[in-house]
Amino acid sequence: MSREAEVRHHADQEVGKSFPELLEKARTAEVALRRTQASPASPEELRAAGLAFDRALTEALRGAEASQRAAFGIKSYDDRIRRRKGRATTKGAEWTAEVNRLRTLREQNRLTGIVRVPRLVPASERPEAAAAPLRVAGAR
């Protein structure tokens, strides 16, 4: 076990302690997104709520990943076999399932929960070529 592995393990334990609060923030952001989707909201509001939920999920995922690494044990930071054995423990399997659940939820939100809003380009920024009439080959 290296000194670096020990430091990383303690850092992951500290980040993992904040997981319940991060998960609660993600739940709150999801409720806000669902309320916004249920109300007659503008696309900009829907996009903002979707992005807020994405940020909250990403933070919760980081906390879950840190807890997962800490659950695998100090030796797992230096040895891939130890990481594999760590996944086979009860705690390791629970954290692995939680990480997978959060990743799936985040990907689902990125695919369907974030509304795409067309970007408006002011006339002053449009290229001149777009304003010129199109010329067809062979036409005079």
Provide φ and ψ at 42, rounded to 5°.
-75, 160
pLDDT at 27: 96
Instruction: Indicate whether 8 pLDDT > 70.
Output: yes
Q: How many helices (H) and strands (E) does the chain have?
A: 6, 0
Q: What is the pLDDT of residues 15-50, one digit of tens each?
A: 999 999 999 999 999 999 999 999 998 989 999 999
Provide φ and ψ at 32, rounded to 5°.
-65, -40
Q: What is the pLDDT of residues 102-135, one digit of tens each?
A: 999 999 999 988 888 887 777 676 666 455 555 6
Instruction: Indicate whether 62 pLDDT > 80.
Output: yes
- The position carrying tokens 């319940």 is 20
- Taking each helix axis from N to C end, the angle separating 19-38 and 3-17, rounded to the nearest 10 degrees, works out to 50
pLDDT at 19: 95
Tell me the two tokens of residue 80.
Answer: 């891939």
